Amino acid sequence: MAPTSRAIIETNQYNDNAGTERHLHFYHKGETIPLMSQSIWQICQGLVRLSTLYPVGEEGLLGWAGPSMCFGSCFSYLHTYRATALSDVCLMCYTMIEIEASPKLTQELLPQLGRRFRQTEALLAIAGQRRVEDRLHQLLLLLKQEFGQPVSDGTRLNIRLTHQDIAAAIGTTRVTVTRLLGKLKQQGWLSIDKDRHLILKQETFPYSSDLFGFEKN
C-alpha cells in the first residue's frame, strides 16, 4: 500500500483562470493523494491513478487523470476511493462552495469533468467486449487518445503502466497481457522506448474495430 501523502506546498502563489490566488500542492510518485468530501483536485502536471478497494483487499481500477483533468471523492458513491500519483504531480484544490459560487470557475472546470466521465464510460464499454484481445486493443486506443504524444514512429503513451495495471483495466491476468503485448510487438504494431513507454504505430490494430471512432479523427 502506498504511503499516506503529505503535500509539499510551494511558497509562491498561483493565479488560476478565475483570478484567485492558490497554493500549488505537490506529491511524489507512488504517494496517496488525500481526498476531501467537499473539494476536488485539478491536475496541473503529472498523472494520477484512481481506484477502489474490494472487500477481499484487491484494488479495482476506476481510471486515470492527466493534466487539466479533475477528480474527487465527492463525485463517487464508493466508500473507498483512492488517488495515487503515477508520477510526480502538481495539483490545485477547489471547494464545492467556491465552484458553485463562481460561474467562471464552473465554466472552466466543467469540460475537464466531462473528460473524466467520458473516460469512465469508455472503460465500461471496453469491459463489455467478449474477447480479451479486443479489450486490450480498445484500451490502447483509449490511452492513445487520452495520453498520446506524436513521435516520429507513431504515438507514444505518456502514461507508463505495468502489465498488471493493464490486466486490472481489462479484467485478465498479467501473463495474458504480457503474451498479447509481445505478440503485437512481434507483428510490428507497437514498440517500447528506452523509458519503457509504449509506442503505438500509425496503423489501426489488426482484426479489431475502433469502438470509439478515434482513428477517424
Are 142 and 126 in contact, with CB atoms under 8 Å apart? yes
Total number of domains in the chain: 2
Are residues 74 and 142 both part of a single domain?
no
Q: Which of 35-49, 134-148, 189-203 has the weakest average pLDDT?
A: 189-203
pLDDT at 72 over 90: yes
CATH code of the domain containing 135: 1.10.10.10
User: Residue 152: which H helix or E strand, with range?
Assistant: none
Report yes or no on 215 lying in a domain.
no
> What pLDDT was estimated at residue 174?
95
Q: How far apart are CA 88 and CA 110, in angstroms?
A: 25
If you average pLDDT over residues 115-122, what whole number do you get? Answer: 92
Same domain, yes or no: 150 and 119: no
Write down the pLDDT at residue 28: 96
User: Whole-prediction pTM value?
Assistant: 0.82
Residue 58 has pLDDT above 60, yes or no: yes
Q: Which phi and psi angles does 69 have, rounded to 5°?
A: -75, 155
Q: Per residue in 127-165, pLDDT tens?
A: 999 999 999 999 999 999 999 999 988 999 998 888 999
Higher pLDDT, 212 or 33: 33
Q: Where do runs of H (alpha helix) occur along the chain?
A: 96-101, 103-127, 132-147, 163-170, 174-186
Contacts of 20 (CB under 8 A, 6+ apart): 98, 105
